[in-house]
Amino acid sequence: MRATPGHTDGCLTYVLDDQSMAFTGDALLVRGCGRCDFQQGDAGTLYRSITKQILSLPDHCLLYPGHDYTGRTVSSVAEEKAFNARLGGQANERDFVGFMQNMKLPHPHRIAEALPANLRSGKPRDPQAAAPAWGPVQRSFAGLPELAPSWVAEHRCEVTLLDVRSSEEFDGPDGRVPLSLLIPLPELEQRLGEIPTNRPVVVLCHSGSRSALATQQLQRAGVTRVANLRGGLRRWGEEGYPLEGVISS
């Protein structure tokens, strides 16, 4: 791993031990490089990162960028030395910095929202959003509010348990959590008015995937006290919490 800042402060390039391949992220692209005009970017720093940490690798080293706008997936050190318009040939740091400072690229859409989120590593802006007062809500890797089955089992009478499986599943062999409200996911948008508003909502399905979508739908509809049941009905049953209607095999 080599530090290659300049596009951002945190850019890294991952190099195989035998230096046959390197994964350059957004520092060095195919025939280009990452822009330097926001998120702590600096053209001089990027030039030194690329020339000293990436183009110093063997000429045969294959370079895989983080993305490419025309579908190219791989280049090599030799190719970028020869053909990169910003770095190749006899271009020096002064040439590179002058090029980068005069590109005048439009800023990406919603960059004002994306950059602060990147800088705080995706953590919620409001610390209270990560730990609401009504329950020990945690965030999934995707930022979705979740609750553990243990807490939900202990507080079943204080929340609305919303099952978004199909009616066939609800009445099928897997059973259902007692006192849960059935609204299948395809019908959720049209039946929002059936969900009580005086209690938090815990959404569940078989594994937690469809209920994750339902949780997002409810958030978009303005439901603030909502969380997904982590692991869904499957984890609920594995941990020994009560189910009704289960048909034993």
Q: Do 164 and 218 form a contact (C-beta atoms < 8 A)?
A: no
pLDDT value for 106:
83
Indicate whether 107 pLDDT > 70: yes
- The CATH class given to the 2-111 domain equals alpha beta
pLDDT value for 147:
95
DSSP classification of residue 52: I
Average pLDDT, the chain: 89
Q: Which residues pair with 29 in a beta bridge?
A: 32
- 68 closest CA partner among 25, 99, 105: 25
pLDDT value for 148:
95
pLDDT tens-digit profile of 25-51?
Answer: 999 999 999 999 877 889 999 999 999
pLDDT value for 105:
80
The three-state secondary structure class of 197 is: coil
pLDDT band at 113 (very low <50, low <70, confident <90, very high): low
Q: How far apart are CA 201 and CA 74, in angstroms?
A: 47
pLDDT value for 121:
67
In CATH terms, the superfamily for domain 127-238 is Rhodanese-like domain (3.40.250.10)
- 202 closest CA partner among 180, 234, 170: 180
pLDDT value for 2:
95
pLDDT value for 44:
94
Domain segments of the chain as ranges: 2-111, 127-238
pLDDT value for 104:
80
pLDDT value for 90:
79
pTM over 0.75: no
pLDDT tens-digit profile of 142-198?
Answer: 788 999 999 999 999 999 999 999 999 999 999 999 999 999 999 999 999 999 999
Question: pLDDT > 70: what percent of the chain?
Answer: 92
pLDDT value for 131:
61
DSSP classification of residue 108: P
The residue behind tokens 């939900």 is 152
pLDDT value for 249:
54
pLDDT value for 128:
47
Indicate whether 75 pLDDT > 80: yes
pLDDT value for 78:
95
